[in-house]
């Protein structure tokens, strides 16, 4: 389903999607298979996908969607996204490399970096090594774009986005530009509270100056820890369930004897039980079926209800 942040959408047959290529030349595609735009490699087609090239285009697209009653769904690299087999109705607004620039300023013991939401986390880490920025090492091995990392408060036991974000700028559901300082941002476990339907445009990071060699070694050490504990090479969406307070979802799944369990083309990872892998032919329905089975078995075994961490969108096939 499309997120219910807005009401009063018109019927699909009234959506003038054919206007989009003229409004956003070279940035519009129709019937895009979302399985090609998510790390899970599953999902049906989106009616239309637009990749804006500026914050003005983001605002213009949102205003156009509101004017014509067309639902829109902001996405990034799709690293925490499970799209159902029926695909996504309306417009997918994808923040990509066209909005992936950054700039930095260093004063004494502070490095302030302004980064557009479409910047890949991997690119930001390369710049951290090159320039000796300290404070980003917890992001090693986390896929996706920075906007998504902030929206999910991505992190590990070594740190999370809430610890380095100084300010945030987004386009709200009315098409207006909002800037919010860290003291007014409400981060939670793998979450950030801001108006649904908004699109993160720029993040201001507060980092520390360091030495390139030390940053490189810290990133390498974090990456080795991830590779030892997680199945990074197979299509997945990372952790599939949120960790219950004071414990780990993977521990409950493993205790229920579910490692290696298959459901169609989906499988519980043998390496990390809180990862579901696409064996190469999985459908979204396979992943969802396996998720429901895991929830049922864990509840029966330990009395714990696991909440999905992955974002599920779209319609059933």
**Residues labelled catalytic:** 190, 239, 309
Closest CA to 283 of 38, 31, 40: 40
Helix axis angle, 212-229 to 121-131, nearest 10°: 140
CB 188 within 8 A of CB 89: no
Cα–Cα distance between 299 and 252 in angstroms, integer? 9
Q: Which stretches of 190-282 are assigned E, i.e. beta strand?
A: 191-193, 199-209, 262-263, 266-268, 276-278
Residue 312: strand pairing partners: 82
SS3 85: coil
How many other C-beta atoms can be found within 10 angstroms of the C-beta atom of residue 166? 17
Cα–Cα distance between 17 and 65 in angstroms, integer? 9
Secondary element (H or E) of residue 106: strand 102-107
The values of phi and psi at residue 125, to 5°, are -70, -35
Calculate the CA 203 to chain-centre distance: 15
What separation in angstroms does the CA of 302 have from each of 112, 140, 195, 294, 296? 46, 32, 35, 12, 10
State the sign of the Cα–Cα–Cα–Cα dihedral 39, 40, 44, 46. Answer: negative
């Amino acid at each position: 389903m499309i997120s219910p942040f807005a009401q009063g959408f018109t019927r699909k047959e009234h959506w003038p999607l054919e206007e989009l290529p003229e409004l956003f030349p070279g940035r519009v595609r129709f019937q895009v298979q979302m399985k090609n735009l998510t790390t899970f490699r599953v999902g049906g087609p989106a009616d239309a996908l637009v990749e804006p090239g500026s914050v003005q285009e983001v605002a213009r697209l949102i205003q156009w969607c509101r004017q014509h009653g067309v639902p829109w769904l902001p996405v990034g690299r799709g690293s925490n996204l499970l799209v159902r087999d029926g695909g996504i109705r309306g417009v997918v607004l994808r923040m990509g490399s066209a909005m992936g620039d950054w700039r930095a300023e260093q004063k004494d013991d502070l490095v302030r970096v302004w980064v557009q939401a479409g910047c890949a986390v991997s690119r930001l880490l390369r710049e951290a090594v090159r320039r000796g920025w300290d404070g980003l090492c917890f992001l090693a091995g986390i896929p996706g774009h920075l906007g998504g990392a902030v929206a999910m408060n991505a992190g590990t036991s070594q740190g999370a986005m809430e610890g380095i974000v100084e300010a945030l700028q987004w386009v709200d559901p009315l098409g207006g530009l909002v800037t919010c300082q860290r003291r007014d941002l409400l981060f939670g476990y793998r979450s950030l509270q801001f108006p649904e339907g908004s699109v993160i445009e720029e993040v201001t990071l507060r980092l520390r100056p360091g030495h390139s060699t030390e940053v490189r070694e810290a990133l390498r050490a974090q990456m080795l820890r991830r590779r030892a504990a997680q199945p990074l090479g197979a299509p997945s969406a990372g952790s599939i369930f949120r960790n219950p307070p004071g414990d780990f979802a993977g521990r409950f799944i493993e205790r229920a004897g579910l490692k290696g369990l298959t459901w169609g083309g989906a499988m519980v990872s043998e390496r990390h039980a809180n990862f579901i892998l696409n064996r190469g032919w999985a459908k979204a329905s396979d992943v969802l079926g396996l998720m429901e089975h895991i929830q049922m078995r864990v509840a029966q075994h330990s009395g714990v209800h696991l909440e999905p961490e992955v974002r599920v969108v779209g319609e059933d096939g």
